[in-house]
Chains A and B, each alone.
Chain A
Amino acid sequence: MNNQKVALTLLLCMTGRAIYAADYASETDYYQELPVVLSASRLSQPLSEAPNAMTVIDRKMIVASGFRSIPDLFKLVPGMYVSSYKGSQAFVAYHGSIDQYAHSMQVMIDGRSVYMPPMSMVDWADLPLSVDDIERIEVIRGPAAASHGANSTQGVISITTRDAGALDGKSVSVTRGGKGINDVSARVGHRGDTLDYRMTLAYSADNGYDNLTAPPNNYPITKSQASSLLNNTFDSNQTRMLNYRADYHPDGADRYDVQFGFNHNVKDVGWTDSTGNPVHNLFANSNFVQLGWIRALDDSAEFALRFYHIGQDQHEAFSKVSLVPNQVTQSVNAIRDEIEMQHTLPFSDANRLVYGAAYRLDRVDSLGNDTLKALSYSSISNTSEYRLFAHDEWRITPKLLLNTGAMVETDGMGNQNTSPRVALNFHMTPRHTLRIGTSVAYRTPSLTEQKIPVTQPGELFVINAVATSPGLMPERLMSREIGYLGELPDWATSIDLRLFSDQLSNGIYGSSATNRFVNGFSAQYRGLEATLKHSFGEERELTANFAHELASSNVPALVAAGKMRPTLGMPSGADLLSFNTPRNSASLLYSQRLAHDVSFSTAFYYQAAMQPFDRGIIDHQPIQRRVDARVARAFNQGGGVKGELALVLQNLFDAKYTEYVANNVFNRRGYITLTLNW
């Protein structure tokens, strides 16, 4: 007995504590309460369950693509047209765009709409977000107003940034390359028990496009046209930005998301041959604050509240070229505040409802001053928008998933729209899914369409104080589609096919008869899109996208009625829209991991010849074929320092192609990136 007591005491001394303490497992390890981590809002919807066609660009693809600007990433989406007005004025449009503003794409970053007034467009150069802070991009091909709010007429780009806890440590990255490519970034992040945060400071600069060396498409041009058209030396762009994200999760039920960011951007705008918009700098400061609260409720229910504020302040000053040079200064300050609440409510394992409401206030202050005319012009515009939305996901049987939803909005311009959506996903087998869907979405007229500026020098639009097109109605898009998603695990392959037919009605266009924006444009888009993914073992992956699209419109009728000017050089009676959309386009992305921590990836982009809608035939875009390649080697310096050295070559074979504006020539260029993490 005594011996046993001694033994026990010794044992306790040796372990330093009672046996139920930390070292050995106890029942509390098994029965402890845990926070709900992967709640409804965290879990992304698999493609075979989504009510729309969707393309996902994940972190791996972003890295493999080698791209250093966000809009370029969308070249990896079937049917997406990515182009640029100038080096820093990129635009992204699904099914093409009839101008360089791409009004019909909704773009959200962590649920925050960056589709901004007064132009109703996304200024990609002004986003306080670096490519390296993106975790994943979901591109919904087709309208999705029922789940993503208004103005998602053609599609929705939904960017998810990296979690606050994605980086635990510090990281610096330096990129140097041709065409003035010069990027530097520093990151710091911390992953804690209750608080995660990350912060990025970045600088990015380049000199945009190259010069044309010969008239495009053998177009006969005059000497003066040639000197201005070929000249593209004034096309640089510098961005300084800060991006911060914190995630505070004090207990298992609540999560608080705090984000803010700032971007200061200086871009070269204007044209050497333009009198009204000569070359000059456009300065932009944009900022945002976003606060989110998500509470996990019982039975997988969830309540989310989000507020965000965006401020975008742009200004320019330049001398208009005329007999008496005069100074023009203009500024546009756009502010958006939005609050949204959303409740996710599972009725059963088979039925889940998401509903909510949002209120948005947009304010645009614009101001212009022209010394020659002693003219000052200014306006203030406030627009408030309400919306209610509900979306139900019902698994009628394990094979049949019905998505129904609708959004009702008042757009602050006197319009009330209802955007419904119905989609039926039929899992013929767990690996083969058919989807049939139809949806409607509206695009609210932009302020610049509704209140067209009296005078328009420079780059910015100082909107009119009064409506010039007071009765302008929203554009309406009705979309129908049939999709197929197949998984072929024996072949390590997945296939995504889609046939679609979209009908645009009440389309807005600039009438040459009245010099006002009016409704009356209608168009139809039909086509086939395909994505194939294949893995060759574990080290090699291929993604292939293809799109075949046909567009038609009532342009010939509008031209005949004198409401739209014909494009010089186009055959009379031609439907310009059918040339505006590239008939065929494709992309391939192949990546491979090699020995010695080396990775290699290459991409091929193809786009058939096309005619930009609102440009003359001088800007005809010939066939684009471009090959990019990236080689990287990861290394471990020891002492906790790891890194990677990467070389990216873009347009490897120096294929001559031009963009939306013909003098945007993209010659072969390369850059090297060194990243260190510790």
Chain B
Amino acid sequence: MNLRRIIVACSLFLLVSAAWGAENLRVLVVQSDNNTLYQTFTNALTGSLPANIHLTLVLRAEDFDAQQGDLIVTVGVKAADRVAGKTTLPMLAAMMPSNTFTDLLAKRSRTRSTAALYLDQSWVRQVAFLSAAIPERHKIGVLHAADTHLDISALRIELTRRHGTLISRSLHNADTLFADLEEVLIASDVLLAVPDGAVYNGSNIRNILLSSYRRGIPLVGFSQAYVKAGALCAIFSTPEQLAAQAGAAIVSFANTGKLPDTQYPLLYTIAVNQEVARTLGLTIQSAESLRLQIEKSQGVLR
């Protein structure tokens, strides 16, 4: 190998580095709104990136108007929705519920290069969590909206695979919430909350928790707030954890020029309400040992 060829190779490398290299990557972060939730994400993201990746922040989705950059990171559904119709730049949709992305956004994005970092946990992980947390309970009740976009049949398959049974009912209408809930509770020994706003919202949660508590049935939630409200436990990703994953995806994009595959959260948190467990006569392990069990049973989860 002569010196000239080495110089050419190095120059090419430098060129490539310059073209795709970290120091020149301009990332536009578009928040759905300017409130604590998105600020927490953005702050954590900023902190996780090397100094040579330049972030420009758009505080609210409606402020976005086809600004330029190398990559757009949207935070939340509203931002993704706004950006998807207005740009052809590569787009990373962070803090994105999986069904919202697959059903709607993926289909209408103008850019060919779109990937999402999901906010929700896969059914595989959720079922592994249920088996670890309450192994003695197998009848998993789910009450969902009539027009739910959740893949209930996939949940059923996953539960059956892990020797569980799914008892699912759809909500007839807003007035029949408690009659429908009773139907689920009669046949179940765990109630799994799902992010269907027609069923699970700030005003319904009280009576849902009280009804299940009266029957001695634990509720498994999907956020810290659920556990604080009285759910037995929950598995979820915090905005900080989602931001860390987004940070890694950005660095990878900076290095390879490619967005990673759309993926479920890599990092997650488990919360347990021991007081509720005690009251219901359940023995539940600590969050840490639950995590170990999930990871043992599932390997690296996607």
Q: Give the interface of A toward B (CB within 8 A).
A: 1, 4-5, 7-8, 11, 18-20, 22-40, 42-46, 48-49, 59, 135, 163, 165-166, 168, 191, 193-194, 196, 249, 252, 300, 349, 430-431, 487, 489
Contact = CB atoms under 8 A, between A and B. Distances in A.
B207 A36 contact: no
A37 B229 contact: yes
B203 interface: yes
A36 B77 contact: no
Given A24-B99, A30-B97, A36 B228 contact: yes
B222 interface: yes
Interface of B: 32, 37, 76-78, 81, 85, 95-97, 99-100, 103-105, 108, 110, 119-120, 136, 147, 149-150, 178, 195-198, 200-203, 205-207, 209-210, 213-214, 222-223, 225-226, 228-230, 236, 239, 273-276, 278-279, 281, 283
- Among A4, A7, A28, the one with the most B-chain Cβ atoms within 10 Å of its Cβ is A28
Nearest to B175: A168
B274 A349 contact: yes
Contact of A34 (B32, B103, B228, B273): B228
Contacts of B105: 19
A642 to B, nearest CB: 9
A49 B278 contact: yes
A31 B223 contact: yes
18 contacts: A8-B85, A8-B108, A20-B76, A22-B197, A26-B78, A26-B97, A26-B100, A27-B96, A30-B195, A30-B222, A32-B223, A32-B225, A34-B226, A37-B209, A37-B210, A38-B210, A46-B281, A249-B206
Contact of A27 (B95, B150, B198, B200): B95
Contacts of B229: 34-38
Contacts of A431: 283
B270 to A, nearest CB: 15
A7 B108 contact: yes
A35 B100 CA distance: 26
Contacts of B200: 29
A34 B271 CA distance: 15
Contacts of B213: 38, 42
B206 A35 contact: yes
A297 B289 CA distance: 29
B77 A20 contact: yes
Contacts of B278: 46, 49
A403 to B, nearest CB: 14
A644 to B, nearest CB: 15
Contacts of A7: 108
A347 to B, nearest CB: 14
Contacts of B201: 32
A43 B276 contact: yes
A166 B213 CA distance: 12
A163 B209 CA distance: 13
A37 B201 CA distance: 13
Contacts of A49: 278
A191 B208 CA distance: 11
Contacts of A59: 214
A24 B97 contact: yes
A489 B282 CA distance: 12
Among A18, A23, A31, A35, max chain B CB count under 10 A is at A31
B108 A11 contact: yes
Given A26-B77, A191-B207, A43 B275 contact: yes
Contact of B81 (A19, A22, A37): A19
A27 B37 contact: yes
A489 B137 CA distance: 12
A43 B239 CA distance: 31
B62 to A, nearest CB: 11
Contacts of B209: 37-38
B228 A163 contact: no
Given A11-B108, A37-B205, A191-B207, A27 B77 contact: yes
A171 to B, nearest CB: 14
A193 B206 CA distance: 9
B147 A23 contact: yes
Given A36-B228, A42-B230, A59-B214, 19 more contacts: A18-B78, A19-B105, A24-B100, A24-B149, A25-B99, A25-B149, A25-B197, A27-B32, A27-B37, A30-B120, A30-B223, A30-B236, A33-B202, A35-B229, A36-B229, A37-B209, A45-B279, A191-B178, A193-B203
A168 B278 CA distance: 29
Nearest to B104: A19
Given A20-B81, A38-B230, A430-B283, A29 B214 contact: no
A32 B85 CA distance: 27
Contacts of B150: 25
Contacts of A38: 209-210, 213, 229-230, 273, 276, 279
A671 B116 CA distance: 65
B226 A26 contact: no
Task: Rank and list the top 10 A-B pairs by shortest CB-CB distance, nearest first.
Answer: A38-B230, A193-B203, A29-B195, A25-B97, A20-B77, A34-B229, A26-B77, A37-B209, A24-B100, A25-B195
B178 A168 contact: yes
Nearest to A251: B202
Residue of A26, A40, A168 most packed against chain B (CB within 10 A): A26
A135 B37 CA distance: 40
Nearest to A22: B197
A49 B196 CA distance: 36
Nearest to A44: B279
A310 B41 CA distance: 55
Contact of B136 (A252, A349, A489): A489
A24 B76 CA distance: 12
Nearest to B40: A31
A372 to B, nearest CB: 58
B212 to A, nearest CB: 10
By CB atoms of chain B within 10 A, which of A1, A25, A193, A349 has the most?
A: A25
A562 to B, nearest CB: 55
Nearest to A346: B275
Given A25-B197, A27-B97, A38-B209, A20 B78 contact: yes
Contacts of B37: 27-28, 31
A29 B279 CA distance: 28
Contacts of A28: 37
Contact of A4 (B81, B110, B149): B110
A489 B230 CA distance: 25
Contacts of A48: 281
A366 B205 CA distance: 50
Contacts of B100: 19-20, 24-26
Contacts of B32: 20, 27
A639 B236 CA distance: 41
A91 B267 CA distance: 61
Contacts of A487: 281
A599 to B, nearest CB: 13
Given A38-B213, A163-B210, A4 B108 contact: yes
A489 B198 CA distance: 37
A28 B100 CA distance: 13
Contacts of A35: 202, 205-206, 229
B206 A37 contact: yes
A165 B97 contact: no
A168 B100 CA distance: 34
B278 to A, nearest CB: 5
Residue from A26, A34, A49 with most neighbouring chain B CB atoms (10 Å): A34
Nearest to A429: B283
B119 to A, nearest CB: 6
B187 to A, nearest CB: 10
Contacts of A11: 104, 108
Given A8-B85, A37-B209, A27 B119 contact: yes
A446 B232 CA distance: 46
A30 B278 CA distance: 26
Nearest to A5: B85
Most buried by B among A1, A5, A30, A166: A30
A403 B52 CA distance: 58
